[in-house]
Amino acid sequence: MKVKIGKIFVGEGAPISIQSMCNTKTVDIDGSIAQILQLEKHGCDIVRLSVPDVESSIAIAEIVKAVNIPVVADIHFDYKLAIASADAGVHKIRLNPGNIGNSEKVKYVADYLNERNIPIRIGVNGGSLEKKYKDMPIADSLCASAMGHVRLLEDCNFFNTIISVKSSNVRDNVDAYRKLKAMCDYPLHVGVTEAGVYTQGVIKSAIGIGSLLLDGIGDTIRVSLTDEPYKEVDTAKIILQSLGLGSVHVEVISCPTCARTDINVKDLANKVINLTKNIRKDVKIAVMGCIVNGPGEASHCDFGIAGGREKSVIFEKGVIVKTVPNEQLDAEIIRFIDTL
Ligand code: SF4
């Protein structure tokens, strides 16, 4: 199945999209807009904001108008906020229909969103499972809960659905998505919830999301970090790029450095990353720390730099094409990147 969120398609072979979530107060309209524009610059495809109250649903109407990517309203419990967010122009609602009360309310929301072609993401998290599932293995309980919510919508003739079944435990998370994939055809929003502060969160997300993507599971991804949201987007891009998925862009590899290193590889690699981050080309660039091993080890790259003490070399597919004094290296790198 394929779901349309504003201008972005999710599922059925559409490019895997990157999501993030604002950590601003939604009522801080200017702050939220500024953060979303920053996320857009980093390559975010879809952004979510919490809508905890009526004031937030009013604010989101202004935010939607000022940004360029689809906006998702995150709703808990109050179906009226889902309706208000739909009226505000959001492109998707994150909502678990079993949590909003009786079947009349579910039907009202389902009909309202169906008429406007606004999809719902059912997002089940390990920490907030209904009591009736507590005794089941966590992966089974996540799936049972999600499918329970799905059926409530299907009973209302609503099929415009995306599902997530997240746990903060990577194994449970992966198990749950594998089981869910076998149960339904709905697009899956994949992520590891509450993954933690930067380094831990990046590693848990890379393993959790990456292993699912390797299995062909996942239509849209969110890296969840206790950090600046743009870092979630940067991490998601690297996960996709590492697996040859997502939009095409330049990949920069660099060696770990060793006793042979003759140049500051870290600074040089960061410089090349900054110079190439907005170039949408399938090009691999190597930044290596010595002339002896660098060109050979990076011969699979389209081009690269191997640093020497006073002079460095530029190589293409492992073959040295130019020797450059280090003081001219920056200009030479820029010249090469301009030819991409
Ligand atoms: S490329 Fe050279 S400097 Fe870098 S790790 Fe390999 S041997 Fe060491």
What separation in Å is there between the alpha carbon of 306 and the centre of ligand 1?
Answer: 9
Of the residues 209, 242, 275, the one at which a domain ends:
242
Examine the domain organization and report whether 275 and 190 are in the same domain.
Answer: no
Residues 163-174 pLDDT 10s: 999 999 999 999
Q: What is the domain-level CATH number for residue 42?
A: 3.20.20.20
> Is the model's pLDDT at 197 over the cut of 90?
yes
Q: What is the domain-level CATH number for residue 313?
A: 3.30.413.10
Give the type of residue at 89: G
pLDDT at 295: 92
Q: Which distant-in-sequence residues (6+ apart) come within 8 Å of 295 by Cβ?
A: 288, 304, 306, 313, 315, 318, 319, 320
pLDDT at 209: 98
Examine the domain organization and report whether 212 and 291 are in the same domain.
Answer: no
Examine the domain organization and report whether 154 and 272 are in the same domain.
Answer: no
pLDDT band at 336 (very low <50, low <70, confident <90, very high): confident
pLDDT at 69: 98
Record the pTM.
Answer: 0.90
Of the residues 192, 224, 242, the one at which a domain ends:
242
What separation in Å is there between the alpha carbon of 189 and the centre of ligand 1?
Answer: 39
Examine the domain organization and report whether 294 and 226 are in the same domain.
Answer: no
**Average pLDDT, stretch 252-263?**
94
Enter the tokens of residue 315. Answer: 């190589």
Examine the domain organization and report whether 225 and 265 are in the same domain.
Answer: no
Q: Is 256 in the pocket of ligand 1 (CB under 6 A)?
A: yes
Choose among 180, 168, 338, 208: nearest CA to 221.
Answer: 208
Average pLDDT taken over every residue of the chain: 94
**Average pLDDT, stretch 125-130?**
86
pLDDT band at 134 (very low <50, low <70, confident <90, very high): confident
Q: Is 299 in the pocket of ligand 1 (CB under 6 A)?
A: no
CB 279 within 8 A of CB 289: no
Q: How far apart are the C-alpha atoms of 37 and 320, rounded to whole Å?
A: 41
Choose among 128, 69, 127: nearest CA to 99.
Answer: 128
> Is the model's pLDDT at 281 over the cut of 90?
no
Look up residue 12 and give its DSSP letter.
Answer: T
Choose among 165, 78, 83, 59: nearest CA to 121.
Answer: 165
Q: Is 294 in the pocket of ligand 1 (CB under 6 A)?
A: yes
Q: Which domain holds residue 313?
A: 251-338
CB 248 within 8 A of CB 280: yes
Q: Is 259 in the pocket of ligand 1 (CB under 6 A)?
A: no
pLDDT at 262: 87
> Is the model's pLDDT at 2 over the cut of 80?
yes
Structurally, the chain folds into a number of domains equal to 2
Examine the domain organization and report whether 208 and 258 are in the same domain.
Answer: no
Enter the tokens of residue 317. Answer: 């597919």
Burial class (CB in 10 A: 0-12, 13-18, 19+), 274: exposed
pLDDT at 117: 97
